[in-house]
Chains A and B, each alone.
Chain A
Amino acid sequence: MAITVAREPSAQGKRPPFGVKTREALIAAIWIAPAVAFVVVFLLYPVISTLWTSLFNFDSTEFVGLANFQKIFTSPGTLIVLRNNLIWLVLGTMATVALGLIIAVLVDRVRIESAAKAAIFIPMAISFVGAGVIWKFVYDYNAGGNQIGLLNAFITRLGFQPQAWLVGPGNNIALIVVYVWMWTGFCMVILSAALKGVPTDILEAARVDGAGELSIFFRIIVPMISPTIAVVATTMIINLLKIFDIVYVMTGGNFNTSVVAVEFYNQLLIFNDNGISSALAVVLLVAIVPIMIYNIRRFRIQEAQR
């Protein structure tokens, strides 16, 4: 570094007007300025503004304190919305991570690994909207006559009554299945990479000591890849908290399937209530803050290891 400092001015032919450090800082400021400007104007300012708006009435003319939040947490309609988001969060995260891990372990042991992985991964490339249309053909319900939905055709063959999957009880689960279909591939790819990083000699030693495959899986592999599992799970949680498209496209939030993001959209553009919709967004942000803190901590630990 000392060499760099000494040589730089001479390489430029003349002394810079400031010290080398100040000059470098100024240049850096120019390099990051566009990014910082975008982030401040379109992310940071809006977050602060929304926090502020959430304390006002529907057209932001009257300060109402925490009344919007009180409404959200007491009215039966939004309580169902919050409950649904919680169901999404818990079931969606567990299902994608668990399935992703199981499939990663399974495909690891077969010869058709790459083909199987691609098949499971493809839905990642499809939009939620496209997935919604795809799954309409799975869940389609016909009260009488020929079933054109795959699922109802299947269960009527087995002698059961056809079900209105997206309307009746359990419709939230039916929507979550679509998400799981789309995102299990993501979890699988990352967990599969982590599995390939587990050192052979440790597993070999366990096997020599007579450990069964199941106990090797739970006692060695899972603990060893737990940081990766945590990363995958947090990604899923962030996704699921903000879930919007699947619900919007498949049920429009009707039949007790609404989630916070859909309710936000309805309040904003259909009921024109800036106060409630801002408050709903704040609820999402507050729910995500622990993950934000966790991410920053993880990042700093990594940086410390550099």
Chain B
Amino acid sequence: MSGIGKNPASPADITTDIDLTSDKPSALAQPTTRTLTPRERLIRSVNDGLMTFLVVLIALIWSVPTFGLFISSFRPPVAIHSSGWWEGLVPPWHFTLENYQNVLKTQDFGTAFINSLIISIPGTIIPVLVAAFAAYAFAWMHFPGRDWIFLGIVALLVVPIQMTLIPILNLLTDAGLTGGFVGIWLAHTAYGLPFAIYLLRSFFGALPGDLMESARIDGASHLRIFFRILLPLAVPSLASLVIFQFMWVWNDLLVALVLLGGAPDHAPMTVAIANLVNSFGTNYEVLTAAAFISMALPLVIFFSLQRYFVRGILAGSVKG
């Protein structure tokens, strides 16, 4: 019997209960169990107060920039250019949806938003599917060179995208795919694969091996095991990978800039915004609303699927 699947300290196990929503204090937070003298108790509560103050302060500092953009996006253009966003918080308020209307209609950011979706959805589904098949094979099949091929893929995890862009651009030009969506789907699939395979193999490898073995003994084919047993069990891990890949593709600027170069009608949100920043350095009113529209989807995904997001991060990096 091989050792596959007998991994008590696999990332999936470690991370199951750790997420942002957990308020469980660690061992550090419980300095001692013995009873305290009144003086010690006073010091303790002053300390706690100080800590809370510090943490609130840090959280505020971290939130202020985003909050400022949010407020700005609802202010009239004249006000944005003449006064700081914090002055808009003082009554009388002059909030307006003008910037959003302007962005969606005259600046045609609606198209850019759709383009972002057209790029991101296949750019997420294809790599996750391809990676899931490969990760299953790496975790549960026996074949010569398995570990070497896997190591090779893990090694490619760190290859700078810049290293690949020129040849990919040439390849796509030869195939007549530059400036179109197909080329960028293929590129994002390749860029996402090493991490996706690495992550899914850890997750799949952590699933109970007895289950797979007994299914094999009963004569189930790999395809059947994959779809009937593994995929239903792996939904949470697939979710965290999907979130990752989606955010990565959605937020990407460089790949879109290079591979979609001469096709502004295919440009996603990031490219459209970057063009706006460069061409009208002070066209703030359009930028504010555009930036917020581009953030809306990732933020919604983040808040609704926070648990999976954090789980994926931890599994991808808390190792050893």
Contacts and interface: CB of A to CB of B under 8 A. Distances in A.
B122 to A, nearest CB: 14
24 contacts: A1-B1, A3-B217, A29-B143, A32-B149, A38-B189, A39-B193, A43-B159, A108-B26, A109-B28, A118-B306, A121-B20, A122-B63, A127-B251, A130-B273, A134-B68, A150-B84, A153-B84, A193-B14, A197-B26, A242-B161, A245-B270, A250-B277, A284-B163, A285-B159
A28 B143 contact: yes
Interface string A251-262: 010000000110
Contacts of B151: 296, 299-300
Contacts of A190: 313-314, 317-318
A277 to B, nearest CB: 7
Nearest to B85: A137
Interface of B: 1-4, 6-7, 9, 14-15, 18, 20-33, 48, 51-52, 54-56, 58-60, 62-66, 68-69, 72, 80-86, 130-131, 133-134, 136-138, 141-144, 146-147, 149, 151, 153-168, 170-171, 186-187, 189-191, 193-194, 197, 213, 216-219, 222, 247, 250-254, 257-258, 261, 269-270, 273-274, 277-278, 284, 287-288, 290-291, 294-295, 298-299, 301-302, 306, 310, 313-314, 317-320
Interface of A: 1, 3-4, 7-8, 11-12, 21, 24-25, 27-29, 31-32, 34-36, 38-39, 41-47, 49-50, 53, 103, 105-130, 132-138, 146-150, 153, 181, 184-186, 189-190, 193-200, 203-204, 207, 213, 221, 227-228, 231-232, 235, 238, 241-242, 244-245, 248-250, 252, 260-261, 264-265, 268-269, 274, 277-278, 280-282, 284-285, 288, 291-292, 295-296, 298-303, 305-306
B295 A126 contact: yes
Given A181-B65, A245-B253, A301-B320, A38 B287 contact: no
A64 to B, nearest CB: 16
A8 B239 CA distance: 34
B55 A231 contact: no
B31 A244 contact: no
